Amino acid sequence: MDEKALILSLQEGCVPAFNTIFSIHHKRIYNFCRHLYQSSDEAQETVQRVFIALWEQRLQVDEKKPLASYLYTIARYIVYQEFRKQVYKKAAFDHFILNSIDLNESTMEEVVYNELLSFLKSIIETLPPRQREIFKLSRFSGLTYRQIAEYLGITENTVDTQIRRALAFVRHKYEYHYQ
């Protein structure tokens, strides 16, 4: 079956056509995403999101244009959005934790800031020792996952997993405390 026929079948909701497209393009889209992310889990998650978007937007796919281009466009958009979210989150987190408050701000804001900073630091200190070390190397020392992995003699995947767990734990404790 040629690509145009596959796209037309996809537009009609044909699951086998979708599966064929997935099997043809999955590895290339994954490799593209893997070059952009530090973890294979993030790359795989993005690939899944690309193909979900393909299915949801199947009626908009132009059968006259290469499907690979369409898939790469979706992947680039998703990666861009994720990077953008990560940059905003990291900037807010870094600003909150690493920057001191301007002395011209009100005393009340300074008290709240210091209380929150102290609370976050205490949460971080309750992490398991290895997870805490990895988290601090990432967030406070600014090391990349690769640098942390090399420094500690572990895999990048382990670093990624430990940081995800630490962030989930910190988020959970913060939300529970400030509900």
pLDDT of residue 154: 94
The verdict on 109 and 80 lying in the same domain is no
Q: For 41, what's the count of Cα atoms within 13 Å in the CB-facing half-sphere? A: 7
Cα–Cα distances in angstroms (integers) from residue 20 to residues 1, 16, 17, 37, in the given order: 10, 6, 5, 26
Q: How confident is the model at residue 100 (pLDDT cuts 50, 70, 90)?
A: very low
Tell whether 15 and 70 lie within a shared domain. Answer: yes
Q: Is the pTM of this model over 0.85?
A: no
User: CATH number of the domain that 148 lies in?
Assistant: 1.10.10.10
Q: Are residues 71 and 120 in the same domain?
A: no
Query: 120 and 172 in one domain?
Result: yes
Give a yes or no: residue 91 inside a domain.
no
Residue 156: pLDDT band (50, 70, 90) is: very high
Q: Which of 23, 58, 86 is the last residue of a domain?
A: 86
Mean pLDDT across the chain: 84
pLDDT at site 101 = 47
Q: Which residue has the higher pLDDT, 22 or 101?
A: 22
Residue found under tokens 């420094």: 151
Point out the domain boundary residue: 58, 86, 114.
Answer: 86
Question: Do residues 60 and 110 share a domain?
Answer: no
CA 39, CA 163: separation in Å to the nearest integer? Answer: 12
CB contact set of 120 (below 8 Å; sequence gap of 6+): 96, 97, 170, 174
Q: Which of 67-71, 111-115, 153-157 has the lowest mean pLDDT?
A: 111-115
Spatial separation of the C-alpha atoms in residues 158 and 47, rounded to whole Å: 21
Tell me: do 109 and 62 sit in the same domain.
no
Give CA 78 to chain center in angstroms: 10
Using an 8 Å Cβ cutoff, are 2 and 9 in contact?
no
DSSP secondary structure of the chain? --HHHHHHHHHTT-HHHHHHHHHHHHHHHHHHHHHH-S-HHHHHHHHHHHHHHHHHTGGG--TTS-HHHHHHHHHHHHHHHHHHHHHHHHHHHHHHHHSPPPTTS-HHHHHHHHHHHHHHHHHHHTS-HHHHHHHHHHHTS---HHHHHHHHT--HHHHHHHHHHHHHHHHHHHHHHT-
Same domain, 157 and 127: yes
Range of the structural domain that residue 76 is part of: 3-86
Residue 71's CATH number: 1.10.1740.10
The per-residue pLDDT for range 47-95, each reduced to its tens digit, is: 999 999 999 999 999 989 999 999 999 998 888 888 777 767 666 666 6
Do 74 and 113 have their domain in common? Answer: no
95 is a domain residue: no
* Total domains, the chain: 2
Q: Would residue 96 count as lying in a domain?
A: no
